[in-house]
Structure 1
Amino acid sequence: MSKELKGSLVVLIAGSAWGISGVSGQYLMSHGVSVNLLTSLRLLISGIILIAIVAFQQPKELKKAVRSKSFVLPTIMFSIFGLVMNQYAYLQAINHTNAGTATVLQYMTPVLILALVCLKNRTLPTTVEVGAIILAIAGTFIMSTHGKIGSLAITPLGLFWGLGSAVTYAAYILIPVKVIREWGSLMTIGSAMLIGGVTFSLVTRAWTLSTSLDAKILLAYFGIIGVGTVFAYTIFLMGVTMIGAVKGSLLASIEPVASVILTVLIMGAHFYLSDFLGMLCILMAVLLISLKDLVATSKMSKN
């Protein structure tokens, strides 16, 4: 198996694992687990595991990082305003809709980042980018109204948190760029998760929240924390090192597809034709932007 093929398969597995995460979260919330408790546990346990991996692999770098202002301060900002807010908004979106719908709405993020870049650079979007923006807006409109102006097919809170998860995911991507470049993504994400988990737990007094425990509940916790966070993230990084970030992000778009399929199969959710049409529009918008970046990267490498 070639390095390119192996890397592509690894990224596809990571995207599918992220799909498992959303469905696991939906299952837990449908069985009485609060969003606050789930957010706390996911961040705290995942952060502990990831930092343990970093401490084992890069003990000297970790000690140096925690003593450096260039790492600590940006990581705290990223943890609170990117990671915590995104995790909370995403789980709230699942709580008010379902895992498939919430994940697709979150994939509006590349379009939001595109709009921010155009505003920042004071440049007009290209024809392809305009097409992607139109598709994303049309997809969101179709999903939220089923094409009927003046009525919502999903709850207002579901739409609010779904779009909120897209906005906070953009912050999640943009805020830590510099610190990740300097200190590495695993160390940055792991530290941010641990900081966010501790902070959010203290603010919400998560230890006072109750949860039932049986085999299915424990399996769902493993799905959202073990499979959908720790495993998915670490193997995604492995795949990206083989095939590059642009192609990796393109292949990771399998996440909403996997999430929708798993939501139907596991949670028994019902989607209408208009839902799938809206999802298709949003995914096409993401693919247009990703393919444009892929072509641009290929041209640069050739030159």
Structure 2
Amino acid sequence: MNKSRRLGLLMIISGATLWGISGPIIQWLFQQTTITSLDFLIIRLLLAGILILAVLSIRKQSIFSIWKEPRQWIQLILFAIIGMLGAQYAFIETVRISNAVTATLFQFLGPVLITIYVAIQYKKLPTFIQMLSIIIALSGIFFLITNGSIENIILTKVAIIFGLLTAIGFTFYTLQPASLIKKWGSPLIVGWGMLLAGIALLLCNRQFSFLALAKTFTFETSTMLFLAIFSGTLSFVLYIGSLKYLSAMETSLLSSIEPLVAVIVSITWLNESFGGFQLIGGALIVVAVIALSLPEKELGTVARE
């Protein structure tokens, strides 16, 4: 195993762990404060974007060079609005409406969509293993939503919609910025993506007031807000950065620890309880992603190109 691959593995495992932790922290904030999804996102995206770009500037990296190339900044804006903002908003709304574990599992459906996208793009029918994995993943979603009873659906329609949007957003921000990252590096792309997404969200929510929100926070809730921002931001940098060294399929496989971390933290810290069939559904989704990632080395090579 070469040094670059080891670095990629370390990045995706660390990023997946941090993302698995960040979900329960965000859920705790929703339970303990009056903060909304939009408020949280504005704070996270603006502060994280400014911090990342500031660090890059201090390290003498030219953070504005990308704006000299129209094709590049057009792709960057698409990533910021559709990928960064879309995925994060859908994920956080799913956390707010349901819980962190459900949001993480919906996000984990991304590899299924990636498999379908790659098959369509390269006009290659899914293999038997891929088709079986997709069926298993869909079965997992069924159990997650219904807990085994179609007459007693656990999740609301809104939660299901935002959960599916989370999966779509995950797929987009995994595939779309690959060429940008290869040329500019993940910190720059993530930094600008977060800052642009935060600015767009702020313009759409002019009632937001940081000072008014700060008055409602205690030391404990402020600390947890910082941890949520830090863990979520670093996980994005590490996850997207790992794509420089690993294929999209490989990152999907290794990120399977996300729901496991989220379940452990939610049960031990938030005292969440889950139905037996829901846990089975979550396990089926993880198994499906692993099955998709392991045997198809050819698709992994395609994803790198």
Band the TM-score falls in, shorter-chain normalisation: 0.7 to 0.9
Check 1:126–1:181 CA distance in 2 against 1; reply closer, same or farther (3 A cut): same
* SS class of match (1:52): helix
Check 1:110–1:29 CA distance in 2 against 1; reply closer, same or farther (3 A cut): same
Look up the equivalent residue of 1:288 and give its one-letter code: A
* SS class of match (1:112): helix
Partner of 2:44: 42
Distance in 1 (alpha carbons) for counterparts of 2:111 and 2:237: 22
1:56 pairs with one of 41, 55, 58? 58
Query: Size of the alignment, in residue pairs?
Result: 298
Q: Is the 8 A contact 2:186 2:237 kept in 1?
A: no
Check 1:289–1:206 CA distance in 2 against 1; reply closer, same or farther (3 A cut): farther
Length-normalised TM-score, structure 2: 0.87
Partner of 2:222: 218
Q: Deviations over 1:218-239 (max 9, x none)?
A: 122122111231x334455676
Report percent identity of matched pairs: 28
Partner of 1:301: none
Partner of 2:154: 153
Partner of 1:227: 231
Partner of 1:89: 90
**Deviation of 1:66 (Å):** 2.3
Look up the equivalent residue of 2:293 and give its one-letter code: S
Distance in 2 (alpha carbons) for counterparts of 1:23 and 1:104: 13
**Deviation of 1:118 (Å):** 2.3
Alignment of 1:170-189 (within 5 A): 170-189=171-190
**Deviation of 1:103 (Å):** 0.4
**Deviation of 1:256 (Å):** 1.3
Look up the equivalent residue of 1:205 and give its one-letter code: R
Length-normalised TM-score, structure 1: 0.88
In terms of mean alpha carbon deviation, does 172-181 or 243-252 score higher?
A: 243-252
Q: Deviations over 1:235-271 (max 9, x none)?
A: 5567666777654442222111101111112221111
**Deviation of 1:202 (Å):** 1.5
Alignment of 1:230-245 (within 5 A): 231-236=234-239
Q: Is the 8 A contact 1:135 1:281 kept in 2?
A: yes
Partner of 2:123: 122
Do structure 1's residue 143 and structure 2's residue 147 form an aligned pair?
A: no
Partner of 1:274: 277
Do structure 1's residue 15 and structure 2's residue 16 form an aligned pair?
A: yes
Distance in 1 (alpha carbons) for counterparts of 2:88 and 2:299: 31
Check 1:169–1:236 CA distance in 2 against 1; reply closer, same or farther (3 A cut): closer
Check 1:10–1:83 CA distance in 2 against 1; reply closer, same or farther (3 A cut): closer
Distance in 2 (alpha carbons) for counterparts of 1:200 and 1:83: 11
Check 1:155–1:196 CA distance in 2 against 1; reply closer, same or farther (3 A cut): same
Do structure 1's residue 108 and structure 2's residue 112 form an aligned pair?
A: no
Distance in 1 (alpha carbons) for counterparts of 2:61 and 2:292: 38
Distance in 2 (alpha carbons) for counterparts of 1:56 and 1:164: 36
- Structure 1: state its 5+ residue gaps: 299-303
Partner of 2:262: 259
In terms of mean alpha carbon deviation, does 124-133 or 8-17 score higher?
A: 8-17
Distance in 2 (alpha carbons) for counterparts of 1:7 and 1:78: 22
* SS class of match (1:59): coil
Distance in 1 (alpha carbons) for counterparts of 2:104 and 2:43: 20
Do structure 1's residue 195 and structure 2's residue 196 form an aligned pair?
A: yes
Distance in 1 (alpha carbons) for counterparts of 2:245 and 2:122: 31
Distance in 2 (alpha carbons) for counterparts of 1:222 and 1:37: 14
Do structure 1's residue 291 and structure 2's residue 266 form an aligned pair?
A: no
**Deviation of 1:185 (Å):** 1.9
Distance in 2 (alpha carbons) for counterparts of 1:171 and 1:236: 13
